[in-house]
Amino acid sequence: MNLITRAEWHAKKPSANYTRLSSTRGVKIHYTGGRVQDDLPASGNHDHCAELVRAIQRMHMSGGRGETYIDLGYNMVACPHREIFMGRGPHVLPAANGAGLNSGHYAVLALIGSSGFTEPNDDLLNGLVDAIEYLREHGDAGHEVKGHRDGYDTSCPGDPLYRWVRQGAERP
């Protein structure tokens, strides 16, 4: 799997200590929402993925979600080039699934929006499965794969990706 370390994507350090998780029931899948450029999956555009991840981290840490997060809210991020950005990583409580729902599932973000780039390509889906398998192996994630909208009132992770989740989140 093509893992991009936090140093490699120039992540900011967390502003406080993480809360440790010993295990979870599984993983919840998220999308960015909003507009993601249509041609993000083009082979020359991976630099834009890193910019997007840094922008989301800045937004989360500056209170863009209503409260100030100590770090990017997600455990891992998958992009349409089958690269995986390390977020909070395994065995860490995410801040993405909704109040009371973060200890049950790790949170994995797909770099796909609600307009522009909205239909997941094969490299994105394979990257999501890579991240899920990584969290099972290194973070004691259980077998469940769900969407953010399971248990929380949101459109996330968007209909196309949620359909894939409901169909078993399998490799294409």
- DSSP letter, residue 11: P
Smallest gap from Cβ 73 to Zn ion, in A, equals 9
DSSP-based three-state secondary structure for 117: coil
Smallest gap from Cβ 155 to Zn ion, in A, equals 9
Interface positions with Zn ion (CB under 5 A): 30, 46, 49, 79, 81, 83, 148, 156
Helix, strand, coil distribution of the chain in percent, nearest 5: 25, 20, 50
Residue (61 or 156) nearer to Zn ion, CB: 156
Residue (17 or 163) nearer to Zn ion, CB: 163
Per the omega criterion (within 30 degrees of 0), is the bond before 172 cis? no
Smallest gap from Cβ 53 to Zn ion, in A, equals 9
Residue (40 or 61) nearer to Zn ion, CB: 40
Q: What's the farthest any 2 CA atoms get from each other in the chain?
A: 40
